[in-house]
Amino acid sequence: MPKVLLGVSASISAYKAADIISQLKKQNIDVEVIMTDNSTKIIPALTLQVLSKETVHTDVMYEHKPSDINHIDVVKRADLFLVAPATANIIGKIANGIADDMLSTTALAAHDIPKIIAPAMNTYMYTNPAMKRNLTQLEEDGYQIIEPKESLLACGDYGKGALADVDVIVNTVKEKLIKK
């Protein structure tokens, strides 16, 4: 059974990770989850652990087994790396090789498997030239970008920046796994 390594960062849409996991599991795709510390303030790690039936990883310094190097071993178990939702912060870290938490450190190790990233942020952040540079860098590094949709955003602004629909994310994952 294929396994997706799902990275969840601290967008207000982090709660949609629960639906992503559920939909992937219905497609017989296992999911292992990495959450940033701030994302656990939006949706509890326990929720995603129950849905995925896997340990949720949040701390790069915590090794579940002394013989493991967790941020390396989770990649070795995965067939695909997905970050959804991806905030401006995590996109900037990954694009620039910054590895200072479990998600960004694991992303640096995930260069030999297919990678997908689904941005979610305010439209002003999404259209910022720095964000465009970071997304271009991620594409050059082999990431497939799932464009955010235009919508009324959590802040009340309307524009491009909302996380793509869950079915779009799940279908993109399925297509990428088939091509692998």
Tokens linked to 112: 């030999």
Helix (H, G, I), strand (E, B) or coil at 115: strand
Q: How far is CA 65 from CA 25, 58, 72, 127, 173, in A?
A: 26, 15, 13, 42, 29
Q: In angstroms, what is the C-alpha Rg of the chain?
A: 15
Candidates 112, 155, 175, 180; catalytic one? 155
Q: State which H helix or E strand residue 147 sits in.
A: none
Q: What are phi and psi of 94, to 5 degrees?
A: -65, -45
Q: How far is CA 88 from CA 25, 75, 167, 173, in A?
A: 28, 23, 22, 21
Please give the Cα distance from 18 to 24 (Å, whole number). Answer: 10
**Catalytic annotation present for 159:** no
Tokens linked to 140: 């050059």
**Helix 45-52 / helix 16-26 crossing angle, nearest 10 deg:** 10
Catalytic residue list: 155
